Chain A
Amino acid sequence: MSIEITEALISHIATLARLGLSESEIAEIQGHFEKVLHYVEALDKLDTESVDPSIFTNDAINMLEQDSPHAPLGQELALKNGPEVDEDSFLVPRIIAEAGNEAGGGKASP
Chain B
Amino acid sequence: MTENTSKSAVEIHNKIKEGSLTSVGVVQEVFQAISNTDSKLEAFTEVYKESALEAAKKIDQQIAAGEDPGPLAGVPFSIKANICSQEGETDAASQILKGFNSPYPATVVNKLIEAGGVLIGKTNMDEFGMGSSTENSSKSTTKNPWDTGCVPGGSSGGAASAASAYGYIHLGSDTGGSIRQPSSYCGVTGLKPTYGRVSRFGLLAFASSLDQIGPISRTAEECALALSIISGKDPRDSTSAEVPHENYLENLTTEIEGSTLGIPKEYFEEGIEPEVRQRIEETIDQYRALGVGIEEVSLPHTSYANPTYVLISAAEASSNLSRYDGIHYGHRSDQSVDLEQLYSNSRGEGFGPEVKRRILVGTFVLSSGYYDAFYRKAMKVRRLIRKDFEDVFKKVDAVICPTSPVPAFPLGSRLDDPLKLYLVDILTVSANLAGIPGISFPCGFTSAGLPVGTQLLGRPFEESRLLSLVHAFQSQSDHHLRRPPVLEGS
Contacts and interface: CB of A to CB of B under 8 A. Distances in A.
A65 to B, nearest CB: 6
B373 A1 contact: yes
A24 to B, nearest CB: 11
A20 B103 contact: no
Given A17-B363, A20-B349, A83-B326, A40 B195 contact: no
A32 B361 CA distance: 9
Interface in A25-69: 25, 28-29, 32-33, 35-36, 39-40, 42-44, 46, 48, 51-58, 60, 63, 65
Nearest to A42: B307
Contact of A19 (B308, B327, B347, B434): B347
A45 to B, nearest CB: 8
A63 to B, nearest CB: 4
Contacts of A46: 301, 304, 381, 384
Given A40-B374, A92-B342, A19 B360 contact: yes
Interface string B323-354: 00111111110001111111111011101010
Contacts of A56: 195, 209, 239, 435
Given A82-B327, A92-B339, A92-B342, A54 B318 contact: no
Contact of A17 (B341, B359, B378, B382): B359
Contacts of A44: 377
B223 to A, nearest CB: 21
Contacts, number: 172
A100 interface: no
Given A48-B377, A95-B339, A17 B330 contact: no
B338 A103 contact: yes
B308 A43 contact: yes
Interface in A77-110: 77-78, 80-84, 90-93, 95, 103-105
Contacts of A40: 307, 310-311, 374, 378
Interface residues of B, number: 74
Interface of A is mostly: loop
B103 A73 contact: yes
Contacts of A35: 419
A78 B386 CA distance: 39
A90 to B, nearest CB: 5
Interface string B377-417: 11111111010000000000000000000000000000000
Contacts of B373: 1
B100 interface: yes
B235 A65 contact: yes
A57 to B, nearest CB: 3
B241 interface: yes
Contact of A25 (B342, B356, B433): B356
Given A39-B310, A40-B374, A20 B383 contact: no
Contact of A43 (B329, B338, B381): B381
Contacts of B241: 58, 60
18 contacts: A13-B367, A19-B351, A40-B311, A46-B304, A46-B384, A48-B377, A48-B384, A53-B379, A54-B380, A54-B383, A56-B195, A57-B195, A57-B435, A57-B436, A63-B238, A80-B101, A83-B330, A104-B337
